[in-house]
Amino acid sequence: MKNKEQINQQVEATFKVLDAIEVVKVNPFFKQGVLQQLNNSKEQKTTILTWFTPSFQLAALGLVLLLNTSAMIYAFSYPEQITDSSLEAFAQEYSLQTETTSLLN
């Protein structure tokens, strides 16, 4: 019983505190001032990449595509002729040929 009485007293105290809350008087232009400050801060954040315009993006994309196509044309225009001597020299250079017979090879 004592526990219920304490809970009831705490509930009553809480309601008394809520009754004591008064309406806050705010300047009628407060909302307008806050919204103006928010708009000003948004405008400053959007000016970071103004130089990267769509026309510049298109030119950069064209340059990248041009470089890629020229690299592909260069790579495939001269067929590589691998001879046995160059393959053997490569294998010797990187020690891919061994004289010993190992179980792990």
Could you give the CA distance from residue 99 to residue 101 in angstroms, rounded to a whole number? Answer: 7
Whole-number pLDDT of residue 93: 82
Residue 84, pLDDT > 70, answer no
3-state secondary structure of 26: coil
* Positions of E strands within 1-105: none
Q: What is the CA radius of gyration of the chain?
A: 40
Higher pLDDT, 35 or 89: 35
The vertex-18 CA angle with 17 and 22, nearest 5°, equals 100
CB 7 within 8 Å of CB 15: no
Residue 2, pLDDT > 60, answer yes
DSSP 6-33: HHHHHHHHHHHHHHT--PPP--TTHHHH
pLDDT, tens only, 16-42: 888 888 888 888 888 898 898 888 876
Distances in whole angstroms, Cα of residue 83 to Cα of each of 77, 89, 96: 19, 10, 17
pLDDT, tens only, 8-17: 999 999 998 8
Residue 102, pLDDT > 80, answer no
